[in-house]
Amino acid sequence: MQEARDLSGGRVDLKVATLYAALERLVTEGLIAVDGDETVDGRVRRYFRLTDAGAERLASEVARLESNARQAASRLRDRTQPRPLGTTS
Amino acid sequence: MTRAWTRERYRRLLRWYPAEWRERNEDAVVGMLMEQAHHDGLPSPTAVERRSLLLNGLGERFLQPQATTGPAFIAFALALLYSAWYLSLTTWAPGIHYAGAVWPFSNPTPFAVILLVAAFAAALGRRARLARLLAYSAAAGELIIWALGAGQGWLGPSLFAALVFSGLAVCAGGAPPSRRQLVKPVLALALVLAAAFAAPQIPPRIALLFMPGVFDDMPLPTLLVYVVLPLIALVGVPVLLVSALVLVRSPGSRRNEAREQVDSAG
């Protein structure tokens, strides 16, 4: 959760209940799997690992986001370049 | 405020979640909550955490797509049998025409039964979330029909009939994961029904007991059988059900006690 907060520059502030609901859903969908429990300082800590199906889904999601970002960057570049006179956008 | 105290606060908040979910995740989630609280320097759950656990717990309890279980199918079967009996024998009245009648029935209960049948079909089709929502809608619908009927003077459903139908529909939609976890809801439903049945009957019977001259010529055994014993039963059954509800402990509470012993030992 701390990592999510740091990576998003403080924009994403996950609550434990929300995070766990998401983890449960991902386990049900077979995208992640429980990788064991460990007791640290009297508290149970549960580890999860990405499954092959999860890695595949993540890769396709990354590709989709990259494509979206490329499109957006390309449109942004077009907007900043001067247009010939007499054309409309 | 000790660590055990904070841990207990979090465990209590997790009671919003279903027992089966707590069985699987409680230790790990409490560990995560404790770690977060320690990191943020918080001695007890914040209002935001409490709200988040409440909403997610209720969502997990009522909206998550769990498979419809054997006990839920038993509740469906009972609710459908009761509906068939109620529709065919109590409300079947093709000759009656008035504002509350839904021909050929004497009140709009068939609409709630249609929702229940749709819920059953969804459960058979493994659409557990849809089944649950439809079963809850049937329960709520029947109670609304009862309230409307009571206000408008329709021919039923009675409160007793509406409670039986709604209680069974909620049990069917709730999909309790084991027979053991069905004990408390069934006891609670029996208590509501017994109280709804007994409440209007107790005051006039007590008043009758104190009315001069009513039982003067009645022999004692007859008085016992026809007056005193029914009164004892009307009061006693709800009291017995309340006692049973208090005494029957959920599997979760036994587990928590074991954990408390471990916590205090540690």
A-interface mutation test, from B25, B58, B255, most A Cβ less than 10 A away? B25
Q: Are residues B113 and B191 in the same domain?
A: no
A17: nearest CA partner in chain B: B53
Tell whether B130 is covered by a domain.
yes
Tell whether B171 is covered by a domain.
yes
Q: Are residues B157 and B81 in the same domain?
A: yes
Tell whether B1 is covered by a domain.
no
Question: Quick one: pLDDT at residue A72?
Answer: 93
Tell whether B207 is covered by a domain.
yes
Tell which of B24, B45, B64 closes a domain: B64
Q: For B186, which DSSP code?
A: H
Q: Are residues B212 and B248 in the same domain?
A: yes
CA distance B52 to chain A (A): 6
- pTM given for the model: 0.51
Average pLDDT over every residue of B38-49: 85
pLDDT digits (tens, 9 = 90+) for A47-83: 999 999 999 999 999 999 999 999 999 998 888 776 6
Tokens (6 digits) for B49 = 């955490």
Q: What is the maximum alpha-carbon separation in chain B?
A: 80
Distance CA B40, CA A2 (A): 10
- Match 């012993």 to its residue by tokens: B261
Over pLDDT 90: what percentage of chain B?
18
At residue B255, does pLDDT exceed 70? Answer: no
Which candidate from A15, A24, A44 shows the least CB-CB separation from B48?
Answer: A15
A1 touches chain B (CB under 8 A): yes
Q: Are residues B48 and B93 in the same domain?
A: no
Q: Are residues B158 and B192 in the same domain?
A: no
ipTM > 0.90? no
Q: Are residues B21 and B98 in the same domain?
A: no
Chain A positions touching B39 (Cβ under 8 A) are 2
Q: Are residues B90 and B111 in the same domain?
A: yes
Q: Are residues B50 and B88 in the same domain?
A: no
Q: Are residues B94 and B166 in the same domain?
A: yes
What's the length of chain A? 89
Q: Are residues B183 and B155 in the same domain?
A: no
Contact B49 A45 (CB under 8 A): no
Tell whether B249 is covered by a domain.
yes
Contact B52 A17 (CB under 8 A): yes
Tell whether B245 is covered by a domain.
yes
Q: Are residues B206 and B256 in the same domain?
A: yes
Q: How many CA atoms lie within 13 Å of B233's alpha carbon, on the beta-carbon side?
A: 9
Question: Quick one: pLDDT at residue B266?
Answer: 44
Which candidate from B25, B34, B56 shows the least CB-CB separation from A18?
Answer: B56
Which candidate from A15, A17, A44 shows the least CB-CB separation from B28?
Answer: A44
Question: Quick one: pLDDT at residue B135?
Answer: 93
Between residues B71 and B115, the one the model is more confident about: B115
What domain range is B220 assigned to? 177-266
Chain B positions touching A17 (Cβ under 8 A) are 29, 49, 52-53, 55-57
Tell which of B140, B157, B175 closes a domain: B175
Q: Are residues B10 and B77 in the same domain?
A: no
Question: What is the tally of helices (H) and strands (E) in chain A?
Answer: 3, 2
Q: Beta strand pairing status for A43-50 and A32-40? A: antiparallel
Chain A positions touching B266 (Cβ under 8 A) are 42
Distance CA B182, CA B171 (A): 8
Tokens (6 digits) for B98 = 């008035």
Contact A16 B39 (CB under 8 A): no
Contact A15 B49 (CB under 8 A): yes
Contact A46 B49 (CB under 8 A): no
Contact B266 A17 (CB under 8 A): no
Chain B positions touching A45 (Cβ under 8 A) are 28, 31-32, 35
Q: Is the dihedral of CA A74, A80, A81, A83 positive or negative?
A: positive
Instruction: State the total domains in chain B.
Output: 3
Tell which of B175, B199, B234 closes a domain: B175
